[in-house]
């Protein structure tokens, strides 16, 4: 118990110390948290009426971010899987950083669920058998359960690794490796369940397809590593931890393959729905071309498609993948393109038109935007703290010393 207490104390003390750039970054994120506090106060006291959500479009910016971030959390497995299954040495050295990213992403997912529910005091209804939420029939309830399980797996696995490294002790592989392998399978399950959250609705034809789970997983394995590449290059630039080129090269290869498949699936959906359009094609047609002057989502779709194609073309060129300045641009384009395609470009037009053919456009209010930016800011604060402490342990700056 003494070692655990000292590990916790040393970890927190190390994280609290930093350069002016570090404190400036936290202050920048903290400004968004202030707006988040205001937005949540307004929503809690006045209700969901202050959002742009309606009876026709009841899933908006909150669940769009939620669906995307589940993919980011699952995408962390693109470090863990090659590191432990294929024994990729460069990724193995920094695999724990992927677990830290997964923790931060799941925290953001759960924050968006809280916003979507509108009443945080009713979250206890999501606890099976205790609350009166519609479990086991509610897919959102299942999603929260598997996300909570994934969060626990990454917290236990990540901090067990750091604790052993801190004490310069060997890992108990009989305990640790099964935990890792379970987390790998669990990562696939969280996004599969998220896909089931929407594709089990026959009244929403744009979502009602068996291709949705594989589309979710493929885009997760493009967006997740894209963010990891950005994080790794930032770490190399601003810390003493040198992440090897082989690790970044492996991640960029994963991104280009998965992004290419994601674009192929998008093309397949467009051809299937619009070659011989039916009433079920209305959602996709509205997304791509608008409907009788309703065109709010059209720029989002085409902007997303251009960003993803540009990123894919850049990543296809080996010299671009090896140029980490250009690689970072491609990773940002892929990340933002998938965020739009998987969020605003999937969740919103799935509700437009409504099952009875109503076209009601949706625009998020400032409150939704404040809360969304705040959730991302909290997630990046968590990520910054977790990564700083993990890097300290990996570098040996945080280690156990007998008094």
197-246: pLDDT as tens digits: 788 888 888 888 888 888 888 998 999 999 999 999 999 998 888 899 99
How many whole angstroms separate alpha carbon 39 and alpha carbon 58? 18
Give the pLDDT confidence score for residue 75 in this predicted structure.
Answer: 84
Give the pLDDT confidence score for residue 403 in this predicted structure.
Answer: 53
Mean pLDDT within 65-86: 88
Q: Is the pLDDT reported for residue 49 higher than 70?
A: yes
Give the pLDDT confidence score for residue 134 in this predicted structure.
Answer: 65
Instruction: Tell me which of 276 and 232 has the higher pLDDT.
Output: 232
Read off the pLDDT of residues 335-347 as tens digits, 9 standing for 90 and up: 999 999 888 888 8
How many whole angstroms separate alpha carbon 25 and alpha carbon 381? 9
Mean pLDDT within 53-59: 83
Contact 216, 252 (CB under 8 A): no
Give the pLDDT confidence score for residue 225 in this predicted structure.
Answer: 92
Residue extents of the structural domains in the chain: 2-395
Share of the chain above pLDDT 70, in %: 98
Q: Is the pLDDT reported for residue 34 higher than 90?
A: yes
CATH superfamily label, 2-395 = Formate dehydrogenase/DMSO reductase domain (1.20.1630.10)
Share of the chain above pLDDT 90, in %: 40
Q: What is the mean pLDDT of the chain?
A: 88
Q: Is the pLDDT reported for residue 162 higher than 80?
A: yes
Read off the pLDDT of residues 112-159 as tens digits, 9 standing for 90 and up: 998 988 877 777 777 777 766 666 667 777 778 888 899 999 999 999
Read off the pLDDT of residues 165-178 as tens digits, 9 standing for 90 and up: 888 888 888 898 99
């Amino acid at each position: 118990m003494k070692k655990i207490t000292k590990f916790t104390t040393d970890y927190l003390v190390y994280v609290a110390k930093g350069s002016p750039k570090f404190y400036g970054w936290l202050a920048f994120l903290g400004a968004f948290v202030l707006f988040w506090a205001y937005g949540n106060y307004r929503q809690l006291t006045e209700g969901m009426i202050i959002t742009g959500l309606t009876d026709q479009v009841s899933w908006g910016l909150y669940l769009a971010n939620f669906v995307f971030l589940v993919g980011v959390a699952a995408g962390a497995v693109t470090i863990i899987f090659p590191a432990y299954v294929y024994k990729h040495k460069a990724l193995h050295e920094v695999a724990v950083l992927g677990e830290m990213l997964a923790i931060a992403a799941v925290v953001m997912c759960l924050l968006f669920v809280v916003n979507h529910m509108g009443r945080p005091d009713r979250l206890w209804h999501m606890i099976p058998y205790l609350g009166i939420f519609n479990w086991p029939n509610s897919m959102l309830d299942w999603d929260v359960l598997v996300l909570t399980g994934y969060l626990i797996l990454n917290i236990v696995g990540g901090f067990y690794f750091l604790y052993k490294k801190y004490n310069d002790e060997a890992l108990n592989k009989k305990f640790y490796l099964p935990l890792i392998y379970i987390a790998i399978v669990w990562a696939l399950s969280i996004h599969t369940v998220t896909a089931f959250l929407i594709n089990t609705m026959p009244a929403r034809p744009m979502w009602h397809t068996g291709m949705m789970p594989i589309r979710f997983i493929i885009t997760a394995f493009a967006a997740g590593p894209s963010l990891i590449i950005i994080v790794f290059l930032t770490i190399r630039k601003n810390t003493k931890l040198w992440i090897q080129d082989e690790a970044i090269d492996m991640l960029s290869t994963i991104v280009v393959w998965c992004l290419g498949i994601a674009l192929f699936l998008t093309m397949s959906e467009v051809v299937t729905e619009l070659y011989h359009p039916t009433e079920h094609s209305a959602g996709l047609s509205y997304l791509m071309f608008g409907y009788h002057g309703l065109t709010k989502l059209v720029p989002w779709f085409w902007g997303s498609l251009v960003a993803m194609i540009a990123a894919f073309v850049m990543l296809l060129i080996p010299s671009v993948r090896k140029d980490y300045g250009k690689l970072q641009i491609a990773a940002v384009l892929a990340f933002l393109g998938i965020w739009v395609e998987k969020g605003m470009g999937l969740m919103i037009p799935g509700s437009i038109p409504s099952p009875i053919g109503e076209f009601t456009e949706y625009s998020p209010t400032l409150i939704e935007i404040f809360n969304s930016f705040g959730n991302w800011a909290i997630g990046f604060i968590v990520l910054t703290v977790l990564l700083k402490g993990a890097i300290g342990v990996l570098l040996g700056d945080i280690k156990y010393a007998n008094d």
